[in-house]
Amino acid sequence: MNIRARVVVGVYPGQADGVVLQAAVFAARFDAELVCAWVDPGRHPRADHAEAPAPGDGAGIDPYLTAHLTRILGGHDIEWSTRQLSGDPARALGQLAETLRAAMIVVGTRDSAVRGSLQEFFAGSIAMHLAHRQSRPVVVVPLAPVSFDDDVPWESD
């Protein structure tokens, strides 16, 4: 039995396109399915959350997010699907990647302007938590890199 490789990417409404587009590049290079996973931190996780909804059905995902993903991934020759997860984003993405035996997890960095608390919650500590708790590679896509000479708000003394 041949199991197709998968790349899991964390997505959320308003996220920079670069994260998903870079994940699509990895998926194409690995001939893998791209699994776009949105985590609702306000919902309690179900024991079977990594298996539901079925790949590609988009159930539970914000329809505007799904439409946006369709627009930006439409020109890429890859198979992709969506998943809605719940609970702690790092844990949920890690569990999904484990269940799917994903080749990697892709997330974005925190925007240097930190536009909102949801974005800060989702993108800020997720990469760090995944990097320290995963046995698979975690790829962190820089959203708004700053110079080493510039201060960033979360690295203040």
- In b/e form, how buried is each residue of 136-149, taking b as 16+ CB within 10 angstroms? eebbbbebeeeeee
Give the CATH number of the domain where residue 97 resides: 3.40.50.620
Q: Is residue 58 part of a domain?
A: yes
Question: Does 10 have pLDDT greater than 90?
Answer: yes
Overall number of domains in the chain:
1
Per the CB < 8 A criterion, the answer to whether 107 and 123 are in contact is yes
pTM of the entire predicted model:
0.77
Q: Is residue 13 part of a domain?
A: yes
pLDDT digits (tens, 9 = 90+) for 30-46: 999 999 999 987 766 55
Residue among 63, 16, 71, 13 nearest 38 (CA) = 13
Region 122-151: mean pLDDT is: 73
Q: Is residue 69 part of a domain?
A: yes
Q: Is residue 154 part of a domain?
A: no
List helix spans (H) across 30-62: none
Q: Is residue 152 part of a domain?
A: no
> What are residue 106's phi and psi, to 5 degrees?
-115, 130
Neighbouring residues of 44: CB distance < 8 A, sequence distance ≥ 6:
86, 87
Q: Is residue 96 part of a domain?
A: yes
- DSSP state for residue 92 in the 8-state scheme: H
pLDDT digits (tens, 9 = 90+) for 54-88: 344 456 788 999 999 999 999 889 999 999 999 88
Q: Please, which residues bridge with residue 81 across strands?
A: 35
Q: Is residue 71 part of a domain?
A: yes
Q: Write out the residue range of the structural domain in which residue 60 sits.
A: 6-145
Question: Does 27 have pLDDT greater than 60?
Answer: yes
Q: Is residue 90 part of a domain?
A: yes
- Residue 152 — pLDDT band, cuts 50, 70, 90? low
pLDDT digits (tens, 9 = 90+) for 98-121: 999 999 999 987 655 544 444 554
